[in-house]
């Protein structure tokens, strides 16, 4: 009651007189009953730090609350951290592996003029060597098999997850039919491209092709316009030293540079080289095998991956320069060594 009366008086008093009045009230003891402090007999709450080992953290506390500059050194801080958190576990720095036997990508001994790896355009039809399999034929593993057997765990995980998701949607039989159709369309697409290249119908107009691959051909139309001097179509290559083989889609000049060309189809856009997964390794392996095969009298340093789309949208062309091919060739040699070790 007294406090409310005092408050009402304060509201009507000017600020200057209020200060003087408060001092006078304080002197006379009229406001001695006003206090903001808690009663002396109130129960004190226990501190959450009461159970802390003060001896163990004494140096840390002193360094924090001290107004002087800490005299601790990096060595003393490391010792203190070791005392509090335990010893530091230092991991070994990551080091890039190198192939045990670094075979060259380009065999310079097979080139008479080292200044020119891409000779004049060859005369005659493109080379076509069938892949020989079966009794009495080469038992060397294929590039595709080697890459499948040495697939990185994360890539294998995503592939298996995709397979399970597709089976859940289509069923086991439906998924098998789906993969069969994809394989069949791929074969039809490669055959149609071969027909275009063999007849030199670069525009792909007037070429009869299955309706299922018309979109793919439309997709690569702008790429075909930059291709000339076709030297190889669907031909086997074998690295005689490393003992592996493969089937090259095409060797031709793309914008004036001789390349090993790999034709791919995809339902999803692949605008980056990284989106093609192991395809760059595959191309590098083909280049190395071709350069080491006596059936081919020239050397190739570059690659090209063309990803075509069924809806006819422009294909993505991923050019692999000589430096990039050399980088993937080193990775391929490591995968090849891994495959041999697993055997």
Domain at 306, CATH number: 3.90.320
Per the structure, the complete domain to which residue 284 belongs is given by 108-342
Q: What is the pLDDT, as a whole number, of residue 337?
A: 95
Q: What number is the average pLDDT over the span 302-306? A: 98
Residue 44 lies in a domain: no
Q: Which of 262, 270, 278, 293 is catalytic?
A: 262
Q: Which one is predicted more confidently, 230 or 40?
A: 230
Q: Cα–chain-centroid distance for residue 15?
A: 72
Q: What is the pLDDT, as a whole number, of residue 91?
A: 54
- Concerning whether 262 is annotated as a catalytic residue, the answer is yes
pTM metric for this prediction: 0.69
Alpha-carbon gap, residue 238 to 300, rounded angstroms: 14
Q: Which of 44, 79, 137, 249 is catalytic?
A: 249
pLDDT at 258 exceeding the cut of 90? yes
The number of folded domains in the chain is 1
Q: What number is the average pLDDT over the span 81-106? A: 72
Picking from 286, 227, 283, the residue whose alpha carbon sits closest to that of residue 253 is 227
CA distances from 52 to 45, 58, 153, 192 (A): 16, 10, 47, 79
Question: Where does the pLDDT of residue 77 fall: very low under 50, low under 70, confident under 90, or very high at 90 and above?
Answer: low
Alpha-carbon gap, residue 265 to 132, rounded angstroms: 26
Residue 133 lies in a domain: yes
Residue 297 lies in a domain: yes
Half-sphere exposure of 68 (CA within 13 A, CB side): 4
Q: What is the pLDDT, as a whole number, of residue 32?
A: 45
Residue 9 lies in a domain: no
Question: Where does the pLDDT of residue 266 fall: very low under 50, low under 70, confident under 90, or very high at 90 and above?
Answer: very high
Q: What number is the average pLDDT over the span 6-34? A: 48
Residue 49 lies in a domain: no
- Concerning whether 264 is annotated as a catalytic residue, the answer is yes
Q: Which of 264, 270, 278, 293 is catalytic?
A: 264
Picking from 122, 155, 311, 288, the residue whose alpha carbon sits closest to that of residue 219 is 311
Residue 45 lies in a domain: no
For the purposes of burial, counting CB atoms within 10 Å of the CB of 329, is it exposed (0-12), middle (13-18) or buried (19 or more)? buried
Task: Enter the DSSP assignment of 226.
Answer: T
101 three-state secondary structure: coil
Question: Where does the pLDDT of residue 75 fall: very low under 50, low under 70, confident under 90, or very high at 90 and above?
Answer: confident
> Alpha-carbon torsion 227, 324, 114, 292, what sign?
negative
Question: Where does the pLDDT of residue 256 fall: very low under 50, low under 70, confident under 90, or very high at 90 and above?
Answer: very high
Give the phi and the psi of residue 140 in degrees, each rounded to 5. -65, 140
Residue 79 lies in a domain: no
Question: In 196-320, at which residue ranges do the beta strands (DSSP E only) sit?
Answer: 227-239, 244-254, 257-266, 302-309, 316-320
Q: What number is the average pLDDT over the span 150-169? A: 90
CA distances from 342 to 146, 149, 337, 338 (A): 11, 9, 9, 6
Residue 190 lies in a domain: yes
């Amino acid at each position: 009651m007294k406090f409310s009366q005092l408050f009402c008086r304060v509201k009507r008093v000017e600020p200057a007189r209020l200060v003087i009045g408060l001092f006078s009230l304080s002197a006379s003891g009229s406001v001695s009953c006003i206090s903001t402090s808690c009663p002396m007999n109130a129960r004190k709450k226990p501190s959450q730090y009461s159970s802390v080992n003060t001896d163990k953290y004494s140096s840390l506390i002193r360094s924090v609350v001290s107004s002087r500059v800490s005299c601790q050194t990096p060595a003393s801080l490391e010792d203190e951290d070791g005392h509090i958190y335990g010893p530091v576990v230092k991991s070994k720095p990551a080091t890039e592996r190198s192939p045990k036997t670094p075979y060259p990508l380009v065999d310079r001994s097979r080139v008479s003029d080292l200044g020119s790896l891409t000779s004049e355009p060859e005369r005659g039809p493109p080379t076509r060597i069938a892949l020989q399999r079966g009794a009495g034929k080469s038992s060397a593993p294929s590039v595709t098999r080697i890459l499948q057997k040495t697939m990185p765990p994360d890539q294998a995980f995503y592939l298996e997850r995709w397979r399970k998701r597709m089976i859940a949607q289509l069923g086991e039989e439906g998924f098998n039919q789906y993969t069969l159709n994809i394989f069949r369309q791929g074969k039809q697409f490669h055959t149609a491209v071969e027909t275009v290249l063999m007849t030199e119908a670069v525009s792909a107009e007037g070429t009869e092709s299955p309706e299922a691959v018309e979109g793919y051909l439309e997709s690569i139309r702008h790429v075909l316009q930059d291709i000339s001097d076709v030297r190889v179509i669907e031909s086997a290559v074998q690295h005689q030293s490393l003992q592996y083989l493969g089937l090259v889609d095409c060797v031709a000049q793309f914008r004036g540079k001789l390349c090993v060309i790999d034709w791919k189809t995809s339902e999803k856009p692949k605008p980056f080289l990284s989106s093609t997964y192991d395809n760059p390794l595959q191309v590098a392996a083909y280049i190395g095998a071709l350069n080491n095969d006596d059936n081919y009298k020239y050397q190739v340093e570059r690659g090209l991956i063309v990803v075509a789309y069924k809806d006819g949208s422009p294909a993505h062309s991923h050019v692999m320069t000589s430096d990039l091919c050399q980088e993937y060739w080193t990775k391929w040699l490591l995968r090849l060594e891994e495959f041999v070790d697993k055997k």
